[in-house]
Amino acid sequence: MAYVSFYKGAKNAEGDILQKIWKLSNEELETRHNYIQYLFPTLKASRYNIKAPQLTSDEVTQFRSSYILRQRLIYSFDMMMKFFGFVPVKSNNVHLYDYTSNIKPQWLTPANHNYLRMTRMMCSLKLFNIRQEAMMLFIALCHINDKFPDQIDAGTLKIWADAVKDLLTR
């Protein structure tokens, strides 16, 4: 129950609590690589953080059924979207995120490590039935790909589409 405990305020294996990660600067979010697995757990073991525990099916059930855990996960999502430079927008009464600047974000480079973070976010949100936010991220990434072409390779775009493909047909 490591992830449920972490989202309820306990320290993770790195010695961090959730609220401390929420307060990291953009520079810290960019350079640290041991927090994303805790913010967005998935059933797949992390290749990049061996301290990150394996998510259990009981934890998935708890996240899916707990309003508080889901709201905290959505807060983590909002924090990461802000880190990536996406801002909330409303279009035709639909809440979305978009990249409104005309300056290419620093992370938007071919094969950037943040693409793995974004994949993890979509997979985690979908796993916990936080589908709207998973789709918001996918749509935001499609928009930024249209705005700044040739930065995200076709393979990465396919991985993202596969991550949300069952959400696209609902």
DSSP annotation string for 19-63: HHHHT--HHHHHH--SSHHHHS--SSPPSS-TTSPPP-HHHHHHH
- What does the pLDDT read at residue 170? 53
Residue 82 pLDDT exceeds 90: yes
pLDDT band at 115 (very low <50, low <70, confident <90, very high): very high
Rounded mean pLDDT, 40-68:
93
Work out the burial of residue 146: count CB atoms within 10 Å of its CB; fewer than 13 is exposed, 13-18 middle, 19 or more buried: exposed
- What does the pLDDT read at residue 127? 96
Distances (CA, A) of 151 to 17, 94, 138, 144: 34, 27, 16, 9
> pTM to 2 decimals?
0.94
Rounded mean pLDDT, 112-122:
96
Q: From CA 170, how far away is CA 159, in angstroms rounded?
A: 19
Q: What is the 3-state composition of the chain as percent helix, strand, coil, each rounded to the nearest 5?
A: 55, 5, 40
- For 12-47, write each residue's pLDDT tens digit: 999 999 999 999 999 999 999 999 999 999 999 888
- Closest to 142 in 3D by CA, of 103, 97, 111: 97
Q: Range with the lowest mean pLDDT among 40-49, 61-70, 88-97?
A: 88-97
Rounded mean pLDDT, 83-99:
88
pLDDT band at 6 (very low <50, low <70, confident <90, very high): very high
Average pLDDT value for the chain: 93
